[in-house]
Amino acid sequence: MKRCIASNTAFSLVEVTLALGIAAFCLIAIFGLMPVGVQTNRNATSQTAATNILASVMADLRATPLTTPLGRATTSPQYQIPIPQNPVGSATSVPPFFFAEDGTFSASIQQQSRYQVNIMFFPTSPNPNGPNTHLATLADIKITWPAGATPANASGSTEMFASFDRN
């Protein structure tokens, strides 16, 4: 009968070195992808905030009360956006206004301003049914960031073409 001599089982030095090399390679890959993930998260947060601001501005424009007579120039209730008289004869842009990261509105750029809002009202034709009938107001609302950059040089933007009935 053969006697089995118990021996200590362990990983060899080659196996340990190979496992450490694979683990190090995986960690380097994970750490290399982290800046991409952080940047993507930052972009998504900025885009979401800009979309929320866009919805708020559009809600403000839609909430503008009727004028007497219909279609007169007025300003929006919350952000005091000047809305031109309908029908709009030529493209009219509104002075830009700004929002901070926490959603604070400002008519001029401040140190904490993060988003710039630009609105352009487009020409509309006179209503063929007469001056006292409904006529949509057409607007292009563009939000860019950072606030200090010109819209052409902004690092991010979101834009919406809107039609709202304020008559």
- pLDDT tens, residue by residue, 83-92: 888 767 788 8
Q: What are phi and psi of 15, to 5 degrees?
A: -65, -40
> What is this structure's pTM?
0.77
Please tell me the distance from the alpha carbon of residue 167 to that of residue 146, in angstroms, as a whole number. 35
| Amino acid of residue 5 | I
Please tell me the distance from the alpha carbon of residue 99 to that of residue 85, in angstroms, as a whole number. 26
- pLDDT tens, residue by residue, 28-69: 999 999 999 999 999 999 999 999 999 999 999 988 887 777
Peptide bond into 69 cis (omega under 30): yes
Question: What are the counts of helices (DSSP H) followed by strands (DSSP E) for the chain?
Answer: 1, 8
| Amino acid of residue 53 | I
Please tell me the distance from the alpha carbon of residue 118 to that of residue 89, in angstroms, as a whole number. 19
Q: Which helix (H) or strand (E) holds 137?
A: strand 136-145
Please tell me the distance from the alpha carbon of residue 118 to that of residue 102, in angstroms, as a whole number. 19
Please tell me the distance from the alpha carbon of residue 139 to that of residue 134, in angstroms, as a whole number. 16
Q: Where are the domains of the chain?
A: 14-165
pLDDT of residue 128: 67
